[in-house]
Structure 1
Amino acid sequence: MAAATVYRRSFHLLSLFCLLFVASSDELQTLLSIKAAFQDSNTKVFDSWESSTPVCSFSGITCDSNGFVKEIELSNRNLTGLLPLSSVCQLKSLEKLSLGFNNLYGRVTQELNNCVSLTYLDLGNNVFSGSFPEVSSLSGLVSLHANKSGFSGTFPWNSLKNMTNLQVLSLGDNPFDRTPFPSVILNLTKMNWLYLSNCSIEGEIPEEIGNLGELIELELAQNYITGEIPRGITKLKKLWQLELYLNDLTGELPPGLGNLTNLEYFDASTNRLYGNLSEIRFLNKLKSLQLFQNQFSGEVPAELGDFKNLVNLSLYENKLTGQLPQKLGSWAEFIFIDVSENFLTGPIPPDMCKKGTMVKLLMLQNNFTGEIPGSYANCTTLIRFRVSKNRLSGQVPGGIWGLPNAELIDLAENDFEGPITSDIGNAESLANLVLGKNRFSGELPSQITNASSLVSIDLSYNQFSGEIPAAIGELKQLTTLSLQGNKFSGPIPDSLGSCHAINDVNMAQNTFSGPIPASLGSLPALNFLNLSRNQLSGPIPGTLSSLRLNLLDLSNNRLTGSIPETLWSEAYNGSFSGNAGLCSEKIRGFQRCSPQSNTPQHLRMVLILLMVATVALLVSLAGFCYLKKKDERIGERSLKEDSWDVKSFHVLTFTEDEILDSIKQENLIGKGGSGNVYRVVVGNDKELAVKHIWHSDDYGGRKKMGSSTPILARRRTKSREFEAEVQTLSSIRHINVVKLYCSISSEDSSLLVYEYMPNGSLWDRLHSCKKLSLDWETRYEVALGAAKGLEYLHHGCDRPVIHRDVKSSNILLDEDLKPRIADFGLAKIVQANSNKESTQIIAGTHGYIAPEYAYTNKVNEKSDVYSFGVVLMELVTGKRPIEPEFGENKDIVDWVCGKLKTKESVVSLVDSAIPEVHRENAIKVLKVAILCTARLHTLRPTMRTVVQMLEEAQPWHLLSIVVSKDGGGKKEELMENHKL
């Protein structure tokens, strides 16, 4: 009997052993098939995955007590390939599948439902495509991570209703279809982490959000959420992090928000919230408070000065008043403060760098008073120090000038006085020194040449005196030198010619003397040179002729001799005035350079009088003939019957009559919303383009001939488009902006006379019946040239110029297919005291209009950047901004972003006419276009940055393909890209 029992037990053990052996063998084959699916991966994780090695010893594999595979942990292992779910889900004991932070692509199929034992699933941070599968069979899930993985379409929210144990749900940063806040989530009461940022949630946050009492982290940022912050959120007393930024929330902070006493990170920035911050005073565990770009008012709660953990505070662009708590930042290792663009008063809190960890102090554009506290002279960790546009005074503590890590010191537009001290020589990292419009005085210390990282120096409109350090040329990275409006004297250092990166030199309105250094002519990047209103003497160096300047002003000095022939340019009109000793053979207003005649003085006088009389007679005869000719046509209505006022902006080689006679139907070449455009050929065979704009009445209608409206009223209703275009273009000198020769205006209409562009517009060459095959090199040159034109408008003018209608039909091409930005009928010069403009009329063209412009009527330079991004997409794809293939209510931006799933789908975006050899460069430009068309305007680059990125993408650079996989950018990117 005992032997039989032993036999039975042995038999059962043998059977179990055989079963386990078979199961282990099956799982081995399963894991080897998984390894095969990822064979293209650049990873060593599978080195241990060999048939001779026990399964439970495989790297990344954990087994249960019975030897079955329980966990696969292969996150962040550089895996590439399709997800082999048919193999993975054969592992029946698998509870954890972690594949996040890899490069997995393709679709995730319904086979995922076969992994019925899963409690932990992480597919986040990959590049999948298509929609997320319905996974209702995974009812045991506790953690689901699928964030930032390229999933699109509609998420199967109903799949979650049976996942009653779900604690972590992370679906953010995916381009899902818009959906209201999913109500199914409100019943998952064990949830402690909910990440739904940037996944197209719209509508209001339900009041029932308060049911999720276990929530520790709630992130709903960067969506389309409207309405107020519900009071239900105040019930979530375990909250550690609350992220609501980049939505369209309105109203006040809900009463009871102060109950969230465990809150350490709170960000509701970039919304439309208002009211006071009184609820914040109870949140004394806060480490980071971000409420910037809202409409909050009232004072900053004094209690913030007692917060022991606060290290980041960002409240810029609100309407806050009163003083900052003077103990602010003095307790913790404070890192960052930005309270710019408010109405704050009082002194700067003195102890924010008490722990020696502060990195950025940004307090510009307020009403702060008093001196800069001396404690910041020892804050060696500071990278940015910006207190411009306040009412600060006194002398700057010496150590501030020499902060070793400071990259930007901005003290402009205050009432500071005293010198820049020799400490400036210790500023090893300083790139930008901005001191304009103060009362600084004394000499510029020679030690400034030791600050070798300097890129921009702005000392304008102060009381600096003495000579410029002779070794200024040692600043090899210097691009901008603004010294205008001071009392500098002595010579301009010859070494300045060694600053080969310099782009802009302005030394106007000082007392510099001596000659203009010939070395300035060797500056290859110099674009703006203003030496006016000084005491410079001697000749104009011929070396300046080699420069390609957009601005040259040498007026009001003591220069002598001949104006170099190569500087006889229309663009430099007025550049040499106020120099009595200069002469020229061709420029009017200057004496001729030929030797004095031997003719006696009285005979010369007689000859001069005879010449004057002759000219007067000719003018009288010309006027008589003109009037007679006009009288002969009495009764015949034409443009020439009006009284015209001519304003020229360049030297003209044609007459008013030549233009007026050419405004006829056979010369019509285009029609636009603001007028017709004619091609005109004047007597010297010069081609011109003339835009004819009819002025409008008070109701927006065209002014009819013979109107009874009084002349004064008609003058008041002069076309706004005309005024905008003339105001903008008359002052612009740039090779990539169309040249305006003159304006000719009457009471009823106006004419703008431009240079003629024989190759039409970029739209014509890409899309119309005039379509021309543009090779990639030409497309690239058009993109870069147009970008430089817009960069000049945004950054190179006295005040930024917003075009407001950037599109391919407004980028004209000359005879060499070089681009010119044109049609400024909608442009508006930004006011000096405003950083954004609004309009009651949506200006622009469908397909190019930035999202914020369409629903807020607010426009700034970033609106132009968006439109230019659309143009770049046209150049790369060959598609129009609106095409039927994009789908209903979708444009080229939606279409492009919808294909950013795999390298293959990205490559398919490139116009088939672009050869394979240039496709990588085309994708580089497409990346720039994607950055330009970010939904949030603050995430878009400036045009200056766009130019730099395009220059890196030039066809002869063999650069790797880089495609952004981020669904819209995170808060950290927003702060890095902010103008401060």
Structure 2
Amino acid sequence: MALAALAVLFLFQLCRLSLSLNQEGLYLLQAKRGLEDPDNALSDWNPRDSTPCNWTGIACSSAGATVTSVDLTGLGLTGPFPASLCRIPNLAFLSLSWNNINSSLPDSAVAPCAALAHLDLSQNLLVGPLPDALAALPSLAHLDLTGNNFSGPIPPSFGRFPVIQDLSLVANLLTSTVPAFLGNLTTLRQLNLSYNPFAPGGIPPSLGNLSSLEVLWLAGCNFIGDIPPSLGGLSKLADLDLSTNALSGRIPESIANLSSVIQIELYNNSLSGPVPPGFGKLSSLLRVDASMNHLEGPLPEDLFDAPFLESVHFYSNRITGSVPSGVSRSTSLIELRLFANRLNGSLPADLGKNSPLMVLDLSDNLLSGDIPQSICDRGVLEELLLIDNLFSGRLPEGLSRCRTLTRVRLRNNQLSGEVPAGFWGLPHLWLLELRGNSFSGGISPVISSAANLSKILIDDNQFSGSIPSEMGALSKLYEFSASNNRLSGPLPSSLGNLAELGQLDLHHNFLSGELLRGIQSWKKLSELNLADNEFTGRIPPELGDLPVLNYLDLSGNLLTGDIPLQLQNLKLNEFNLSNNDLSGPLPPLFSRDIYRDSFLGNPGLCHEFSGLCPVSRGTGDRHGFIWLLRSIFMMATLIFVVGVAWFFWRYRKYKKAQLTPDKSKWTLTSFHKLGFSEYEILDCLDEDNVIGSGGSGKVYKAVLSNGEMVAVKKLWGASKKDVENANQSVDDGFAAEVATLGKIRHKNIVKLWCCCTHKDCKLLVYEFMPNGSLGDLLHSNKGALLDWPTRYKIALDAAEGLSYLHHDCMPPIVHRDVKSNNILLDGEYGAKVADFGVAKTVEMMGKGPKSMSVIAGSCGYIAPEYAYTLRVNEKSDIYSFGVVILELVTGKFPVDPEFGEKDLVKWVTCAMEQNGVDHVIDPKLDVRQHREEINKALSIGLLCTSSLPINRPSMRRVVKMLQEVRAENKTQIETKDGKLSPYYREEVDPNSSV
């Protein structure tokens, strides 16, 4: 009885507590119960309070204490959309952006939100169709669904919003074409539809009816055809962005009627014809970018007459004629990029006199004449890029006083004369490239003031005199390349102090004296080329102690003495000591035929293959015996080659038969609705279609009859001996990929369309990713295409994919082989995690991580504890992902000879301790614009690669930290329309690769 009484009393107390909270508070608690709150962000939502007005994210009206606003942005909440919030009668503002809301959005959930004026559900994981009920909300003025997984077409109801002002559907999975009925929304001020996989179609001319429109953001919408002239009637439009589509035809002249426009972005299309006149009368225009099109003809003379014009980008077109003279009259121009065109003639003599010019890139044209003397009169010029033109004359004296310069690239022109002394010592200059000209004179000792110089590239000129000892003060110097000049005298001993030196190329000069000793600081030197000079003396044994030296050319000098045995320590890709006066026996390692051409022209060297050793008595019989042995060896080699060729022919014939068995016996298992059959896939399994090959099989590109492309992975045969020795079979890998990918639905996980099996032949059919893998792109000569905003987006995409595997799959999935080559990029450089051949689910049994029989993963990405214990959990993936972030920031491989015994993680840590952050950042990135974001991303990468697993954040936390990197900066540079200001975007500069 006593216990029963206590229970009744307890229930009574609960009822009293719940009755003390008003109805709106109960609705909020109901919403909280349906969500996971891993960071305990809603801990102050206390049912004992009488009103929720002081709770986190809740705001109430000043009178009546009714809830009018719920703002739960970025709290890490997970779960379905909390429909009970819409039962709050006066709720006018609702934001759940930057969380993990992961359900569909049914009409029944949002229909009760009758008072809602502002709804922001951006950057979540919502799926399914767009709900019709949203358009029926009578007061809804702001709707932002950016960055979700909504799919299907834009419903017709979205043409009937009664008072909508801002509509943002950016970065979803919307299909069909952009509908014309959006032109009915005459109250719209912003229409943002960018980066959706719409079907190819034209821009609806009806959008010209949106008379109140201020922002039209339609980048990456798969538009084709012409730009409708009707868009020129949008008199209030401030931002027009039609970039990254497939638009063709001419730029309509009506664009010049956009009287309020601030920026026009038409880059990365297929527009043709001339640039229309009229831009000069746009009194508010700050930026125009029509790069990467097929525009032709001269630039209009009035282009630079717009009074506030700051940035002009028309690079990578077919523009001819001269640079308009009006450019010199502009008083606001900051950035002019016209590279990769067909411009000719000379530049206006007073260019830079009136404008605060910071960036001038006119590379890859046919421009001639002098570089204008006034180019840096305003004293703010940072980048001067005039590569591959016909400029002549001397460098302007004013450039020697241009202390703001950071990059100067004048390669392959016809410039001559002496370089002004002060120019060598500019304090912020880090890249100086004067290659391929006719400069003369010497390198000034003033160069010691250029404390930031990292690269000095002055090959193929007529520089003379000695190398000044002051160059030893350039503590950041990585590359000094001065080949094919007339430099003379000895190498200054101070060069041995350059701890960052990676490449030293001084071949084909008149340098003399002995080679440097005391070069222990050259720990990063990978290339040393001193060929074709007049060096004398012996080869320093210290060269053999340089840990990453792989290119050594000392040929064509007057070197004497023997070859130091220490050179055998080097792992050389290029090795040449020819045409010197070396003597003595060769070190044993070099006594092989592969080094035959490395020692030519040294009469004093004694080795059999040199043919220079004296012939002793009895050697004739010995040589005859050797000739017989060589003949036998050559005959055996010939028989072997013929046998291998015959075997290879038979093997290919056998494999072809294996590839094309009876098609009727193939079994197809689909995971999505397919528009193709297994027969189309089998017909594409040809060696000409191979696009990749790895440890688990070959990958083919298959073009289907409907024009779509897929990637087909054919797994290696199950009888491979090495697979058996590793206690793994192809069947296991196949089952892992199918079991994992077949049930996954996420925008950042590569989609598995289907699988095909026949006996022991197994095929996996994936969606095709046109930009390949991150690793291949980042570490190729196309790495400059990946500017920082793109790299950041790739990191965030991949993190969201891994977070889904770790936190939203039951049981959680550990990838076990996270690396840049397993992150694939779509046509817009969106990232998706791929290759689940070694993925395993983590057993949720409370017994700790599962121990695997072998180490899975790739060198440089494997977590330290995994390599020793073979125990795998989510923390292993987080370490590997941290290495990927470091790759994105540094541009370097996870393991590289440059690092010596270190991997990328240890190299970054040591380099930052010794030289600071700037030393590890990829020089292809514009640190000036994105320094804060890059530094924060670097910190996240180092946190993920902590040696102790317990110190690594969860993937959900990593996603949130990455989002905060951009969110914090976004608040600093956001425009009034809520879109990131274009003036802070990193531009793709093909000529900026260093």
TM range (shorter): 0.5 to 0.7
Q: Does the residue aligned with 2:87 lie in a helix, a strand or coil?
A: coil
Whether contact under 8 Å (2:83, 2:110) holds in the other structure is: no
Whether contact under 8 Å (2:374, 2:398) holds in the other structure is: no
Whether contact under 8 Å (1:853, 1:863) holds in the other structure is: no
Whether contact under 8 Å (1:881, 1:892) holds in the other structure is: no
Q: What's 2:113 paired with?
A: 116
Q: What's 1:284 paired with?
A: 282
Whether contact under 8 Å (1:876, 1:925) holds in the other structure is: no
Change over 3 Å in CA distance of 1:51–1:592 after alignment to 2: same
Whether contact under 8 Å (1:765, 1:774) holds in the other structure is: no
CA distance in 1, matches of 2:302, 2:722: 68
Pairing 1:165–2:163 present: yes
Whether contact under 8 Å (1:356, 1:381) holds in the other structure is: no
Q: What's 2:553 paired with?
A: 553
Q: Deviations over 1:819-845 (max 9, x none)?
A: xxxxxxxxxxxxxxxxxxxxxxxxxx9
CA distance in 2, matches of 1:673, 1:422: 71
Specify the code of the residue in structure 1 equivalent to 2:525.
L
Q: What's 1:368 paired with?
A: 367
Pairing 1:97–2:94 present: yes
Specify the code of the residue in structure 2 equivalent to 1:186.
G
Q: Deviations over 1:15-50 (max 9, x none)?
A: xxxxxx999932344456667888958799997999
CA distance in 1, matches of 2:523, 2:887: 29
Change over 3 Å in CA distance of 1:334–1:179 after alignment to 2: same
Q: What's 2:428 paired with?
A: 429
CA distance in 2, matches of 1:592, 1:576: 13
CA distance in 2, matches of 1:106, 1:660: 61
> What pairs with 1:71-82 in structure 2 (closer than 5 Å)?
71-72=68-69, 74=71, 80-82=77-79
> What pairs with 1:645-724 in structure 2 (closer than 5 Å)?
656-657=637-638, 659-660=640-641, 663=644
Q: Give 1:526 shift.
A: 1.2
Paired residue for 1:152, among 150, 153, 163? 150
Change over 3 Å in CA distance of 1:331–1:49 after alignment to 2: farther
CA distance in 1, matches of 2:652, 2:830: 25
CA distance in 2, matches of 1:43, 1:242: 42
Q: Give 1:73 shift.
A: 6.0
Change over 3 Å in CA distance of 1:847–1:564 after alignment to 2: farther
Q: Give 1:565 shift.
A: 2.7
Whether contact under 8 Å (1:38, 1:79) holds in the other structure is: no
> What pairs with 1:665-814 in structure 2 (closer than 5 Å)?
770-771=722-723
TM-score normalised to the size of structure 2? 0.64
CA distance in 2, matches of 1:252, 1:25: 62
Identity of aligned residues (%): 21
Q: What's 2:376 paired with?
A: 377
Q: Deviations over 1:472-504 (max 9, x none)?
A: 232222211101111111111222222222221
Change over 3 Å in CA distance of 1:347–1:615 after alignment to 2: farther
CA distance in 1, matches of 2:325, 2:719: 62
**Structure 1: gaps of 5 or more residues:** 1-20, 596-603, 631-639, 641-654, 677-719, 722-760, 776-844, 899-903, 934-940
CA distance in 2, matches of 1:432, 1:669: 56
Q: Give 1:370 shift.
A: 2.3
For these two proteins, the number of residue pairs brought into alignment is 748
Q: Does the residue aligned with 1:272 lie in a helix, a strand or coil?
A: coil
Pairing 1:975–2:976 present: no
> What pairs with 1:333-344 in structure 2 (closer than 5 Å)?
333-344=332-343
Whether contact under 8 Å (1:399, 1:423) holds in the other structure is: no
Whether contact under 8 Å (2:310, 2:333) holds in the other structure is: yes
Change over 3 Å in CA distance of 1:239–1:459 after alignment to 2: same
Change over 3 Å in CA distance of 1:532–1:932 after alignment to 2: closer
Whether contact under 8 Å (2:21, 2:50) holds in the other structure is: no
Q: Give 1:325 shift.
A: 1.9
Deviates more, 1:127-136 or 1:390-399: 127-136
Q: What's 1:577 paired with?
A: 578
CA distance in 2, matches of 1:605, 1:384: 56
Q: What's 1:539 paired with?
A: 538
Whether contact under 8 Å (2:353, 2:377) holds in the other structure is: no
Change over 3 Å in CA distance of 1:773–1:481 after alignment to 2: farther
Paired residue for 2:182, among 182, 185, 189? 185
Pairing 1:294–2:293 present: yes
CA distance in 2, matches of 1:231, 1:892: 31
Pairing 1:919–2:910 present: no
Q: Does the residue aligned with 2:268 lie in a helix, a strand or coil?
A: coil
Specify the code of the residue in structure 2 equivalent to 1:339.
L
Q: Deviations over 1:577-604 (max 9, x none)?
A: 1103444434664445689xxxxxxxx9
Q: Give 1:521 shift.
A: 5.3
> What pairs with 1:797-836 in structure 2 (closer than 5 Å)?
none
Change over 3 Å in CA distance of 1:74–1:553 after alignment to 2: same
Whether contact under 8 Å (2:225, 2:249) holds in the other structure is: yes
Whether contact under 8 Å (1:216, 1:241) holds in the other structure is: yes
Whether contact under 8 Å (1:129, 1:152) holds in the other structure is: yes
Q: Give 1:232 shift.
A: 3.0
Change over 3 Å in CA distance of 1:45–1:375 after alignment to 2: farther
Change over 3 Å in CA distance of 1:881–1:64 after alignment to 2: closer
Change over 3 Å in CA distance of 1:494–1:311 after alignment to 2: same
Q: Deviations over 1:139-160 (max 9, x none)?
A: 3244343243333333652342
After superposition, the CA RMSD in angstroms is: 5.4
Q: Give 1:663 shift.
A: 1.9
Q: Deviations over 1:788-824 (max 9, x none)?
A: xxxxxxxxxxxxxxxxxxxxxxxxxxxxxxxxxxxxx
CA distance in 2, matches of 1:408, 1:50: 62
Q: Which has the larger Rg?
A: 1
Paired residue for 2:203, among 191, 200, 205? 205
Q: Does the residue aligned with 1:334 lie in a helix, a strand or coil?
A: coil
Q: Give 1:267 shift.
A: 0.6
Whether contact under 8 Å (1:465, 1:489) holds in the other structure is: yes
Q: Deviations over 1:286-324 (max 9, x none)?
A: 211000011100011100131111111111100111112
Q: Deviations over 1:39-89 (max 9, x none)?
A: 958799997999768766778655558626463163766564557633421
Pairing 1:307–2:306 present: yes
**Structure 2: gaps of 5 or more residues:** 1-17, 658-686, 689-712, 728-763, 803-813, 837-841, 843-848, 851-855, 858-869, 892-920, 926-933, 968-978
Q: What's 1:702 paired with?
A: none
TM-score normalised to the size of structure 1? 0.65
Q: Does the residue aligned with 2:251 lie in a helix, a strand or coil?
A: coil
Whether contact under 8 Å (1:381, 1:405) holds in the other structure is: yes
Deviates more, 1:78-87 or 1:357-366: 78-87
Deviates more, 1:964-973 or 1:347-356: 964-973
Paired residue for 1:136, among 119, 133, 136? 133
Change over 3 Å in CA distance of 1:36–1:430 after alignment to 2: farther
Pairing 1:106–2:87 present: no
Change over 3 Å in CA distance of 1:881–1:545 after alignment to 2: closer
Whether contact under 8 Å (2:331, 2:356) holds in the other structure is: no
CA distance in 2, matches of 1:35, 1:381: 54
Change over 3 Å in CA distance of 1:942–1:607 after alignment to 2: closer
Change over 3 Å in CA distance of 1:916–1:70 after alignment to 2: closer
Change over 3 Å in CA distance of 1:605–1:97 after alignment to 2: closer
CA distance in 2, matches of 1:279, 1:270: 21
Q: Deviations over 1:376-411 (max 9, x none)?
A: 334443332211211112222344245333321111
Paired residue for 1:224, among 218, 222, 226? 222
Q: What's 1:18 paired with?
A: none
Q: Does the residue aligned with 1:289 lie in a helix, a strand or coil?
A: strand
Q: Give 1:920 shift.
A: 1.1
CA distance in 2, matches of 1:668, 1:539: 53
Q: Give 1:125 shift.
A: 4.2
Q: Does the residue aligned with 1:122 lie in a helix, a strand or coil?
A: strand
Change over 3 Å in CA distance of 1:30–1:75 after alignment to 2: closer
Whether contact under 8 Å (2:816, 2:877) holds in the other structure is: no
